[in-house]
């Protein structure tokens, strides 16, 4: 990176993470299933229209995994692509963190299944669950392990097979979601500050807005729970919408404040891809220009923990962002949870 392209921080040591060991994003990758489900096809499944979905959400189509394609399969594909970009072997990975609300099964963790699939025999592995905010939570957790010198190379993945928990009879939710995975390799690189900061937040007081009621210890699977369709995702869309805008705004502003950055210094803003109206409301309030905003929601819908991870890979691979430029990732999800990260690519 030429020195002219370096971001100008008023005080480069002002934010917390500069004081620790620097953490770089050395590779990104993503994977989406081949099958496309369009709004027109959804019109034949529930009482909806392409016009309603497009105007209310911005979504035109989403990807749906094959019956024998699971979260761990998509996660492994995204991981292999990120490893290729980073130029590392599976043996070099110290830790695998997978953010998902759709693990292959309640246990063992999907991270363990991916460890086996990619041959990362040395790596520790665990899942984290922060719904749509999970990838940012994963970046922050991975960063801490590198900053503390516990590990040198961490693989963070956001992966979801949401089609497996969507109620395909509920038009309020089934039009919104899709499947996919995105991955990033975090490594220590001297004199490089790739992941500048990551902010996390939560409000369990609003846990009821987005839930999958059954399948846990509160309501184990029974014939009644299945008949009552309690093993599907449920959402209070209106209230979620309101909370999303405020939480994303707060997280983004906190991340910028920690880095002493102004929004105009960010080349690419990657928001959680849930709803075009949420993205535009957050963008307007932050002062983001259309040229700064990265949106792929129209093609994938909301892929929860995979959402910003896929978008990050596409922003890089499409040339929307170049080495040395700054990105702001901002997310929101069930929990409620939220987060933001500033990355110097
Ligand atoms: N097709 C046609 N009509 C529909 C559909 C549909 N697919 N879905 C709902 N409607 C109807 C409703 O039934 C309602 O009808 P009514 O007025 O007769 O009752 C009407 O459309 C309007 O419903 P609203 O709830 O007012 O629609 P709104 O403009 O709020 O949009 C939406 C709904 C898209 C769900 C929006 O609220 C939203 O995006 N919320 C946020 C979701 C989100 O961000 N989730 C992120 C986290 S996800 C995670 O963590 C896993």
Q: What residues contact 91, with CB distance under 8 A and at least 6 apart?
A: 119, 120, 121, 122
Q: Above pLDDT 70, what percent of the chain?
A: 93
Whole-angstrom distance, CA of residue 292 vs CA of residue 315: 11
Lowest mean pLDDT among 67-76, 110-119, 190-199: 190-199
Measure 79 CA to ligand 1 centroid, in angstroms. 33
Domain 196-344 part of CATH 3.40.47.10: yes
Does the structure show a pLDDT above 80 at 90?
yes
Look up the pTM and report it.
0.94
Mean pLDDT of 219-241: 96
Q: What residues contact 170, with CB distance under 8 A and at least 6 apart?
A: 46, 232
Whole-angstrom distance, CA of residue 246 vs CA of residue 255: 14
φ and ψ of 143, to 5 deg = -60, -40
Q: How many residues does the chain have?
A: 345
Q: Give catalytic residues, as residue numbers.
A: 132, 272, 302
Q: For residue 313, how many other CB atoms are within 10 A of its CB?
A: 23
**What residues does CATH 3.40.47.10 cover in the chain?**
3-192, 196-344
- pLDDT tens for 12-66 read 444 445 566 889 999 999 999 999 999 999 999 999 999 999 999 999 999 999 9
The token duo for 49 is 């229209």
Does the structure show a pLDDT above 80 at 304?
yes
Measure 237 CA to ligand 1 centroid, in angstroms. 5
Q: Using an 8 Å Cβ cutoff, are 98 and 199 in contact?
A: no
Q: Which atom of ligand 1 is nearest to the CA of 171?
A: 7
* CATH top-level class of 3-192: alpha beta
Q: Using an 8 Å Cβ cutoff, are 325 and 268 in contact?
A: yes
């Amino acid at each position: 990176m030429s020195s002219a392209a370096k971001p100008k921080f008023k005080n480069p040591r002002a934010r917390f993470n500069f004081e620790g060991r620097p953490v770089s994003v050395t590779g990104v990758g993503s994977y989406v299933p081949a099958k496309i489900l369009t709004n027109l096809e959804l019109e034949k499944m529930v009482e909806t229209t392409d016009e309603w979905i497009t105007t209310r959400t911005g979504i035109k189509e989403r990807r749906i995994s094959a019956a024998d394609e699971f979260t761990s399969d998509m996660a492994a594909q995204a991981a292999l692509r990120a490893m290729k970009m980073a130029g590392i072997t599976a043996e070099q990975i110290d830790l695998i963190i997978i953010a998902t609300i759709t693990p292959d099964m309640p246990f063992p963790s999907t991270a363990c299944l991916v460890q086996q699939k990619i041959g990362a025999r040395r790596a520790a592995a665990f899942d984290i669950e922060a719904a749509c905010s999970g990838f940012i939570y994963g970046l922050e957790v991975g960063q801490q392990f590198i900053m503390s010198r516990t590990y040198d190379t961490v693989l963070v993945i956001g992966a979801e097979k949401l089609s497996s928990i969507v109620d395909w009879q509920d038009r309020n939710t089934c039009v919104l979601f899709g499947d996919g995975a995105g991955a990033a390799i975090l490594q220590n690189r001297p004199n490089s500050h790739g992941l500048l900061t990551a902010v996390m937040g939560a409000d369990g007081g609003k846990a009821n807005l987005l839930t999958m009621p059954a399948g846990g210890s509160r309501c184990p699977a029974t014939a009644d729970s299945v008949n009552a369709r309690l093993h599907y995702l449920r959402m209070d869309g209106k209230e979620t919408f309101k909370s999303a805008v405020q939480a994303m705004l707060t997280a983004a502003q906190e991340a910028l404040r920690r880095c002493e950055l102004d929004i105009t210094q960010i080349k690419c803003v990657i928001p959680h891809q849930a709803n075009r109206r949420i993205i535009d409301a957050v963008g307007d309030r932050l002062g983001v220009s259309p040229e700064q905003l990265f949106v792929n929601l129209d093609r994938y819908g909301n892929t929860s923990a995979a959402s910003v991870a896929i978008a990050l890979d596409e922003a890089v691979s499409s040339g929307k962002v170049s080495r040395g430029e700054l990105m702001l990732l901002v997310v929101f999800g069930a929990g409620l949870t939220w987060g933001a990260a500033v990355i110097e690519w």
